[in-house]
Structure 1
Amino acid sequence: MLPIPNNSHYMPPTFVLIGIPGLNDGTVLSTSIVFCFLYILVILGNGAILYVIKVERTLHTPMFFFLSMLAINDIVFSTSTVPKTLGIFWLNDGLIDATSCLIQMFFVHGLSVVESGILASMAYDRLMAICYPLRYHSVLTASLLKKIAFAILIRATVLNMPFPLLVVQLQYCGNNIVEHSYCDHMAVVNVACSDKRIDSLYGLVLSVSVCGFDLSFIGLSYSMILRSIFKMPTKDARQKAIGTCGSHICVIISAYLPALFTFVAYRFGGTTIPPNVHIFVANIYNLVPAFLNPIIYGVRTKQIQQHVLHILTYNVKKLFGHLAKE
């Protein structure tokens, strides 16, 4: 536990998360059911992706290495918020101790940075595969992949460590009500009664720098990819190259759009964006991309389709074989 001074001006020992404000009982029930259903699908879908990639050695390639990282990140990201949100909906249990709140804050924002780094790495993977196919496997070696993964994790850790350290220094004047369903950085900062400019500025600089760098890298990568695609001699080759990038582009859109809305809502939305809309979209950001990623890659990636069908067919035949013996 972090030492919390026995003074009402410092961080309280516990916070109270209010969930999504303005929902009636019927809406709370339906929203919680949707969130629970999506969360189950997130676990099952990403778990299936990880299982298929693990058991099929032909999928042990750089592209599927990054896809595995994305699946793990999606599972941990949604798990960091959804169980507590469901506890608020179903059990009216919004109480969370200060240390757990800070840990949740670190994971939520840290995993967002990890996801952005993975998406940038996947763009680099596609760049090498399409623009430099002869050098693809010699450049993207197992050693380099491990270094990239390590760099993504270190970047997220270093950049997000100041969040809890800054928040714990604020004065709260006895207030502990967080208008959110989880310990989002700005939601907790808004509880404080002291000067919040440093916290807000750091969050702004971090968001702009990380997203700006990663999106610029992704944009540059795809501009080079498109230039290479247009130089390909046949229509089939161009369509195949575009198809390999289609899944990644869909994942990028589903990940960055809700994040951009949440970022704008806190800092520039003011009273124009209702709190319930903002908090609902923030929860969607934690769930929907993680739910869509396995579907997008499962539908658009033939290798995964084939291996999933093979595994399902094998298990069904095995089940019927046991039933026939009985």
Structure 2
Amino acid sequence: MTFLRRLQWNDSSVLIHPPGFYIIGFTSLPFVNLYFIFLTFVYVVSVVFNTCVIYIISVDLRLHNPKYIAVGNLAVVDLVLNTCIIPGMLKAFLAKNNFVPFNLCMVQMYVYYSFICMESFSIAVLAYDRMIAICFPLRHGSINTMTSMSCILGVIWCFCLGIPIFSTAIMTRLSYCDSVNVYSYFCDYAPVFRLACNDNTLQWAVASVLSLVILLGPLSFIILSYMSILIAVFRMKSVESRVKALATCTEHLILVAVFFFPVLIIFMVGLLARIKPDPDLRVLSLSLASCIPPCLNPIVYSLKTKEIKSKVLTMFRRIKVQRSASGSTWQCFTIAALSWTALSRLWTAGRDRESLQCPHQHNRGLHYSPPLHLVPVVFVSPFPGSFLLQLDLYLGTVHPAPSRRERVSALVSCFSEEALEWANAVWVEGDVALDHIEEFTRHFRAVFDHPPEGRAAGECLFHLRQGTRSAQEFTLDFRTLASRVGWNDRALINHYCCSLRKDVHRELACRDTTLTFDQLVDLSIRPDNLLVTRGRSEAALSGSFS
């Protein structure tokens, strides 16, 4: 056998490793080339949609949360998994170049089983996110944090990248002297070790154990998660709440069914069926079960989420507007120039004034930042009511007072996405509302405004103060109102600080200013409790002396 290469293993054994293997499959299926053209389409769709999901999550700061970190992780795994399999299949069966070098075969085997393991565990992580969101809605933000999700994903990556190292390394301890034809669609683990002419018991045992760990482990966790979800859902009083909670799990259940059920059915048929299925049909079923889920995951789950869907629609609208407004470049520059002029005047006037402090608060260290800076140059649709309130309150403090057109320019400078496109169209048409802030705001509200209760919540939140209440009671009211308005985190943090009682505000003045809103709430409750305890002790002490 001149095509074999001999390698010495210790002194007592000789291992025979061929230069490579020939991937043999789909030998009796008619019109098999149409199947590989279909796989080409599947691969293109998988690359485009998964890359789109990864890009959107990476550039949109609003999606940097535990749920979308898990979704982005699944997109990365899907992209690598299909890239590992489909190009090799097209090369072997469509281009008729089915020879794979020995080392490359081992690498493909390692990458495939590493990322099929990650695929399984990533779907289980999404089930964990659903379980925490439904079973512990009030503690979801404190349990499922960025740190905890990053640790979970880190452990999964280490496990899934580490375990296949051992299973792939022991394949090099086999001698392949019988045949070099692998009957599969890639360098699959079981079809390769069956070609060995020495004892492959260890490889068979490792394959069996890893199959149970990779498939049944995450699937068991998913089943337990949904049992917990069902228990929590049936404890809800209203039918509408139950339906709404279960509806959030529909897309994930589709992922579970698409990934786990075909593979389990194929293995069960192979184990229990008295008549073995046709080998070509088995290879076809396994290849579909491996290649279709990474293509469907972003379509069925990721792009169905409200945040990602709105971002994709915004991108398409922006492209459409850029094409239709290619002749309106001068108008866009005019908007930018006028907006910059107005903002420069506002900033110059406001810089000479003393820093604005919260009403009824005069402590040094925690100042009330002007609302214009709390709303970055990203318009948070669909909540313009509170946005306009913050801007109007700030412009009312600027002296000399800006003109109506300057107010409109300042307002437009804070727009982005759909709001900026709308303002561009209004500016190009030369609408008379540009010289009247009230008319411009009315038109703006007619297009983008949210329901009246949102505006009422914004007004209530702006005037909310702790007073004599405990910080816990005040925080409960604050969070309830904050959930119904469109203020961003920076605005909520500054207004929360301003609304605290004077002594609590003083205690927080020397603390870290880079805290998140949840950290700030926890930090404010502790000194409030200490101050209450201290006040009771002083009262008891003064009473004993009297």
TM over 0.5: yes
Identity of aligned residues (%): 28
8 A contact 1:297–1:304 mirrored in 2: no
Q: Does 1:17 align with 2:9?
A: no
Is 2:280 the partner of 1:276? yes
Q: Distance in 2 between matches of 1:280 and 1:172?
A: 26
Instruction: State the alpha-carbon separation in 2 of the partners of residues 212 and 89 from structure 1.
Output: 32
Superposed, which structure 2 residues align to 1:155-174 within 5 Å? 155-174=159-178
1:185: which partner in 2?
A: 189
Structure 1 match to 2:325: 321
1:1-326 pair list within 5 angstroms: 5-6=6-7, 10-24=16-30, 27-264=31-268, 272-298=276-302, 300-322=304-326
- 1:179 and 1:267 map into 2 onto residues whose CA distance is 19
Q: Distance in 1 between matches of 2:199 and 2:272?
A: 18
Q: Give, as a single letter, the amino acid of the residue that structure 2 aligns with 1:22.
A: S
CA contact (8 A) 1:251 1:296 kept: yes
SS of 1:175's equivalent in the other structure is: coil
Which whole-Å deviations, capped at 9, do the CAs of 1:88-129 have from their partners, x for residues lacking one? 122211111111101111111111111111111111111111
Give distance in 1, aligned partners of 2:81 and 2:274: 27
Distance 2:100 2:249 in 1: 42
- Secondary structure of the residue aligned to 1:116 is helix
Q: Does structure 2 conserve the Cα–Cα contact (< 8 Å) formed by 1:77 and 1:108?
A: yes
Distance 1:290 1:124 in 2: 20
Q: Distance in 2 between matches of 1:104 and 1:324?
A: 52
Q: Distance in 2 between matches of 1:51 and 1:270?
A: 49
Higher RCO by CA contacts (8 Å cutoff, separation 6 or greater): 1
Give distance in 1, aligned partners of 2:57 and 2:262.
Answer: 28
Amino acid corresponding to residue 282 of structure 1 in structure 2: L
Q: Secondary structure at the match of 2:138?
A: helix
Label 1:31 to 1:323 Cα distance change in 2 as closer, same or farther (>3 A).
farther
Shift of 1:64: 1.3
What are the superposed Cα offsets for residues 235-254 of structure 1, whole Å, 9 maximum, x if unpaired?
Answer: 33222211211111110111
Q: What's the secondary structure of 2:141's corresponding residue?
A: helix
Compared CA separation, residues 181 and 265, structure 1 to 2 (3 A): farther
2:460 corresponds to which residue? none
Looking at structure 2, the residues matched to 229 and 114 of structure 1 have their Cα atoms a distance apart, in angstroms, of: 29
Flag the structure with larger Rg.
Answer: 2
Unaligned 5+ segments in structure 1 are: none
Distance in structure 2 (CA, Å) of the matches to 1:16 and 1:269: 29
CA distance in 1, matches of 2:238, 2:170: 56
Question: Equivalents in 2 of 1:59, 1:181: separation in Å?
Answer: 37
Superposed CA RMSD in Å reads 2.1
Distance 1:273 1:211, change over 3 A: same
Distance 1:156 1:297 in 2: 23
Q: For residue 105 of structure 1, what is the amino acid of its counterpart?
A: M
Deviations 1:182-230 (A, max 9, x none): 1110111122222222211211111113322222211111111111111
1:292 CA drift (Å): 1.1
Moved more, 94-103 or 151-160: 151-160
Partners of 1:211 and 1:6 lie apart in 2 by 35
CA contact (8 A) 1:53 1:60 kept: yes
Partners of 1:214 and 1:110 in 2: CA distance:
15
> Contact 1:21–1:179 at 8 Å: present in 2 too?
no
Is the 2:24–2:185 Cα contact (8 Å) retained in structure 1?
yes
Letter of the aligned partner of 1:5 in structure 2?
R
Q: Which moved more, 1:4-13 or 1:277-286?
A: 4-13
> In the aligned structure 1, how far is the partner of 2:78 from the partner of 2:279?
25
Check whether the contact 2:175–2:197 (CA below 8 A) recurs between aligned residues: yes
TM-score (norm: length of structure 2):
0.56
Richer in helix (by share): 1
Which residue identity lines up with residue 18 of structure 1 in the other structure? I
Residue deviations 1:27-54 (CA, integer Å, cap 9, x gap) = 1220110010011001111112222222
Aligned residues: 320
Query: 2: distance between equivalents of 1:36 and 1:269?
Result: 32
What one-letter code is carried by the residue in structure 1 that aligns with 2:6?
P
Deviation at 1:298, TM superposition (A): 4.9
